[in-house]
Structure 1
Amino acid sequence: MSVTELVDPTPNPPANGDPARPVRRPAPWAALLVRLHFYAGVLVAPFLVVAALTGLAYTVSPQVDRILYGDQLTVAAVGEQPKPLAEQVAAARAAHPDGTIATVAIGTDEQTTRVTFSQPDLTDDRQHTVYVDPYTGEVKGQLTTWFGYTPASTWLDDLHRNLQLGEFGRHYSEIAASWLWVLALGGVVLWWRRRATSRTRMKHLLVPDLSAGKGVRRTRGWHATTGVWLAVGLLFLSVTGLTWSRFAGANFSAGLDALSASRPAVATGLDGVPPAAGGGEHQGHGGPAPTTAAEPASYERVLAVARDTGLNGPVEITPAEESGSAWVVNQNDNTWPVRLDRIAVDPATGTVVDRSDFADWPLLAQLSSLGIQAHMGQLFGPVNQVLLAALAIGLLCVIVWGYRMWWQRRPTRSDRRAALGTPPARGGVRDLPWWALLVGVPVVAALGWALPWFGVTLLGFLVVDVVLGLLARRRHRHAPA
């Protein structure tokens, strides 16, 4: 939730000459959490700022696509009956004779039909997509795409995932996602602990204390209360972001495989027909495609089978990568309620050789798929986009308030003046009971293994903290008596 300390480790100064209240030493675990929250907030916040800004930009990608590519993506007028799919595929092939067909996404309502080609001259999973008006058969335009994404959406997606730096840039987003859940949960715990000490203060868990005077107390109230409201959403963004990160995502996928909870595949083998050697449609190696994949009529037959078996709404046809394999038809409606059923079809006989329905997926696979679609702003349409934008803006506000607290807590006396506030007091680990260390160290180590960038950066924080402690001890030892 938050990005700097939510609990001021120094006691509030007495006002108007009132006698000072006795200083209550915080519990060791609370002192440790405050210090971790402070260091993680100050050092990880820049990564979160970038993730929030780029994520905010990505939330409007559908509107950007409409502005830039509306002529290609949508039709001028919705007709009563679409043209046969064979005619649409033939029109796309005539407009773009190079490459082999990778997928055909059927246009519905105002959406155009997308015929995507793999080509050997395109790299980084790029493909060439031809957009066809399903009601007139007219080619509306052509774009270089990435898994169906337009150039603008691809650019915004790369900006959010890796800052346009490729694999190296993915580290930034994984660091942000690895720490966001720690900051969110830690902030909620610290704020609850602070406010739950008095019944009169409980209401300020969800409403900032506007009676607080100007300064760090008021800033902390806005910082923490906003963070509490955002906590569930930030936890969601952290978890879903980690599922397709570079290292933690690989561990997540391995865990799903170990639990047999991955998205089920559809079997595409055809008995009695030996597969041909060589490349397939999706690889774009330039090898010959199966004969049926080159025949527009094959797409018409496969689509008819899919409709007869209940695959309604938007669907995408993927031709076989090699002879002797079935074609795959999958629903690609990611708006709630989702339609993600899939079948494998023999294009020669029209026989369904296998089927995978979303309702039959393992629960973890369902949750993972829905979570990713919600993270991308697709699950609930414009409402999803608004919620993501609100989360991004709220996180930016929390970060700004966090840094403001750091500034406001700086010593201003002439003999103690400093540029920034000091970190919370040390000693939290040293004061923990032995059983807490016995349980906590293995848990943290396991988290560091599952989330490698969390483990590496946490180790870095510990090293920095130890070095600062040694330097402070050395200065104290050499200070004049």
Structure 2
Amino acid sequence: MAISPDVTEPVVTPPVRTPRQQSAFGALLLRLHFYAGLLVAPFLLVAATTGILYAFAPQIERAVYSTELTVANPGTAALPLAEQVAAARAANPSGDLLSVRPGHDDTTTQVDFSDPALDADHQHTVYVDPFTGTVTGRLTTWWTATPLTEWLDNLHANLHLGDTGALYSELAASWLWVIALGGVLLWWRRLRGNRTARRLLAPDLSAKKGVRRTRGWHAATGMWLTAGLLFLSATGLTWSTHAGENFSAFIDSLGAGRPSVSTDLTGAAAASTGGAHHGGMAMGGSDAAAVDPAAITTVYRSARDAGLTGPVSISVPADANTAWSVTGNDSLWPVGRDSVAVDANGTIVERIDFADWPLLAKLTQWGIYAHMGNLFGLANQIVLAALALGLICVIIWGYRMWWQRRPTRADRRALAGAPPARGSWWTGLPAWTIAAGLPALFALGWFLPLFGIPLLAFLVLDFLIGTFRRRPATPVSPAPAGS
């Protein structure tokens, strides 16, 4: 049958793909992740770099202060501790005897003395070879830490800018967990419908060079680092200025603070809690000179007989009505933090073992030691360094994506990419989300002030800018006729 020449085949046009609409929550999350990463990343970059240096402080310290800290030829039997203290006193005639850390293995004995010219956090430490009684050096220390460790600690904590500089590290710790979790959620949402372990955890190497490949490395590396970054954020906040105070108050309200033995020999005082982050060591008072330092040999022997092994710190009592205290200083796993109070005759008057600490106190102590790279020795330090290097790479890739998204056309050229679209998060979020989320955000912002204040500022400014830009221009009345 002939086909009419007027009949033509219908033209099939492919369907037009409309871009997936970003939800109000997605728009807010993406915009918050972008601005938080852009503005907080420099602080994280500094914290990561200085953190690597601080993690390896023990090795650096032993190299710089090898004469003071280590014994070249360890003997088989140490001199009585009282003789070692006497040798330190001869090298440092002034000041009260505060505390003693007996040499252990190939380390020297460290004897601390006060000095009215120093602040309460500093003292003079004399180093003594425990096998010969030879003084190997003297340093002005900070909570028993050498000047180098103090310098590295302050570099990481406050950039040597004091209380003002401490805000940098708290800001970084307060936002690190937000950026990390936000990145996980964004990557999870982007891969919806095609989520596999490989796509979540490995970059797409088949992607062409450009923002897509950079995003793959940025996101996949971030996924691997998330658990470690959350740990660093949480543990770093425990001794920050503002959040740390709130954390300590919360722990104390639960009765889960770090316990310490009572050294009162009159029976009038109860066991106290607390202690400094860098050791929590009680120092002798101005009347410590009235205490016979020769008793330290008996005290030390009694503590060893009571089962305290490894490195210990002995605090000198302030007067005859106060007991000596001996506390384990082993930060390696398992942690040795048992402590005893001992009178001058060597009698144990009170004991608190680390096993009896409240669980939250143990977790806090473990977290601090792990954050500082002490808990598992070299393995701990390597993990911290890997986390810091990974974070540095993620930050660099984030800034690279920002640069790769820049307009390159001659009429629209720019130095960097535009921020994500604002969307309508302030009107598109469900009412239940706002009702449940706002109280939670206010509570979290109060507990973490350097998270809450910047977040509130961002939300208010973003809302005002969005409202202002959506507002139609005010019409201008025409000029009167004849003007």
Query: Above 0.5 in TM-score?
Result: yes
2:124 pairs with 124, 128, 132, which one? 128
User: What is the identity, as a one-letter code, of the residue corresponding to 2:212?
Assistant: R
Aligned mates of 1:48, 1:188 — CA distance in 2: 18
1:185 is paired with a residue whose SS is: helix
Q: 1:344 to 1:463 in 2, by over 3 A?
A: same
CA distance in 2, matches of 1:323, 1:20: 90
Match 1:401 to one of 358, 375, 397: 397
Aligned mates of 1:442, 1:188 — CA distance in 2? 24
Q: 2 CA distance for matches of 1:368 and 1:173?
A: 19
Query: How far apart, CA to CA, are the structure 1 residues paired with 2:331 and 2:35?
Result: 39
Instruction: Give the distance between the partners of 2:119 and 2:254, measured in 1 at CA.
Output: 34
Q: Distance in 2 between matches of 1:196 and 1:102?
A: 62
Cα distance, 1:356 vs structure 2 = 1.0
- Tell me the distance in 2 between the aligned counterparts of 1:20 and 1:52: 47
Paired residue secondary structure (1:430): helix
What is the distance in 1 between the residues matched to 2:268 and 2:252?
Answer: 30
* Pairing of 1:299-310 with structure 2 (within 5 A): 299-310=296-307
1:218 to 2:213 alignment: yes
Question: Are residues 1:298 and 2:285 paired?
Answer: no
Q: How does 1:191-270 map to 2 (within 5 A)?
A: 191-199=187-195, 201-270=196-265
User: Is 127-136 or 458-467 further displaced after alignment?
Assistant: 458-467
CA distance in structure 2 between the aligned counterparts of 1:411 and 1:464, rounded to whole angstroms: 25
Pair 393,107 (structure 1): closer, same or farther in 2 beyond 3 Å? same
Q: In the aligned structure 1, how far is the partner of 2:250 from the partner of 2:464?
A: 37
**Aligned equivalents of 2:301 and 2:98: distance in 1?**
19
| Contact 2:114–2:124 (CA under 8 A) maintained in structure 1 | yes
1:383-434 superposed Cα distances (whole Å, 9 cap, x missing partner): 1111111111111110010011111112223343332212212222321110
- The alpha-carbon deviation at position 159 of structure 1 amounts to 0.6
Deviation, 1:325, is: 1.4
Pick from 449, 453, 460 the counterpart of residue 452 of structure 1.
Answer: 449
Deviates more, 1:246-255 or 1:458-467: 458-467
TM-score (norm 2): 0.89
Match of 1:111 in 2: 107
Matched position secondary structure for 1:129: strand
Contact 1:290 1:320 in 2 (8 A): no
The answer on whether the counterparts of 2:97 and 2:289 sit within 8 Å (CA) in structure 1 is no
Structure with the greater alpha carbon radius of gyration: 2
1:90-146: CA deviation from partner (whole Å, max 9, x where unpaired): 100011111111110011100111001111111261110000111111111000101
1:60-459 aligned within 5 A: 60-123=56-119, 125-199=121-195, 201-271=196-266, 287-292=286-291, 295-347=292-344, 349-426=345-422, 427-459=424-456
Instruction: Work out the CA distance in 2 between the residues paired with 1:118 and 1:233.
Output: 40
Alpha carbons 1:290, 1:323 under 8 Å: kept:
no
- Residues 34-64 of structure 1, C-alpha deviations (whole Å, 9 max, x = no match): 1111111111111111111111221221122
Q: Secondary structure of 2:259's match?
A: coil
Name the CA distance, whole Å, in 2 between partners of 1:425 and 1:272: 68
Looking at structure 1, the residues matched to 89 and 268 of structure 2 have their Cα atoms a distance apart, in angstroms, of 28
C-alpha displacement at 1:455, in angstroms? 0.8
CA shift, 1:167, in A, is 1.3
Assess if the C-alpha contact under 8 Å between 1:72 and 1:141 holds in 2: yes
Q: Which amino acid aligns with 2:202?
A: V
CA distance in 2 between partners of 1:477 and 1:415 (Å): 26
Contact 2:88 2:126 in 1 (8 A): yes
Which residue does the alignment assign to 1:277? none
Mapped contact 1:130–1:143 kept (Cα < 8 A): yes
- Conserved? CA contact 1:219–1:404, under 8 Å: yes
The SS at the match of 2:164 is coil
In structure 1, C-alpha distance between the alignment counterparts of 2:468 and 2:387, rounded to whole Å: 40
Greater RCO (Cα-Cα under 8 Å, separation 6 or more): 1
In 2, Cα distance between the equivalents of 1:321 and 1:448? Answer: 43
| Alpha-carbon distance in 2 for matches of 1:84, 1:143 | 23
Q: Residue 143 of structure 1: SS of its match in structure 2?
A: strand
How far 1:445 moved relative to its partner? 0.4
Q: Distance in 2 between matches of 1:53 and 1:222?
A: 20
Number of equivalent positions = 452
Unaligned segments of structure 2, at least 5 residues: 1-13, 270-280, 476-483
How far apart are residue 442 of structure 1 and its match?
A: 0.3
| Structure 1 residue 478: Cα displacement | 8.6
Question: Is the 1:75–1:112 contact (alpha carbons within 8 Å) kept by the matching residues of 2?
Answer: yes
Unaligned runs of 5+ in 1: 1-17, 275-280
Summarize the alignment of residues 15-54 of structure 1 with structure 2, pairs less than 5 Å apart.
21-54=17-50
Superimposed CA distance per residue, residues 326-374 of structure 1 (whole angstroms, 9 cap, x where no aligned partner): 1110000001111110111112x32212111111111110010011011
Per the alignment, in what secondary structure is the counterpart of residue 169 of structure 1? helix
Residues in 1 aligned to 2:116 and 2:168: alpha-carbon distance in whole angstroms: 31
Q: In 1, Cα distance between the equivalents of 2:189 and 2:251?
A: 36
Separation in structure 2 between the aligned mates of residue 131 and residue 191 of structure 1, nearest angstrom: 54
Equivalent AA in structure 2 for residue 237 of structure 1:
L
Counterpart residue number, 1:278: none
Query: CA offsets per residue over residues 416-469 of structure 1, 9 Å max, x none?
Result: 333221221222232111000000000000000000111111122224323543
Q: Percent identity?
A: 58
Task: Report the TM-score, using the length of structure 1 for normalisation.
Answer: 0.89
- What is residue 278 of structure 2 aligned with on the other side? none
Higher alpha-carbon deviation: 203-212 or 419-428: 419-428
Partners of 1:389 and 1:20 in 2: CA distance: 49
* Alpha-carbon offset, residue 202 of structure 1: 4.1
On the 8 A contact 1:83/1:135 being kept in 2, the answer is yes
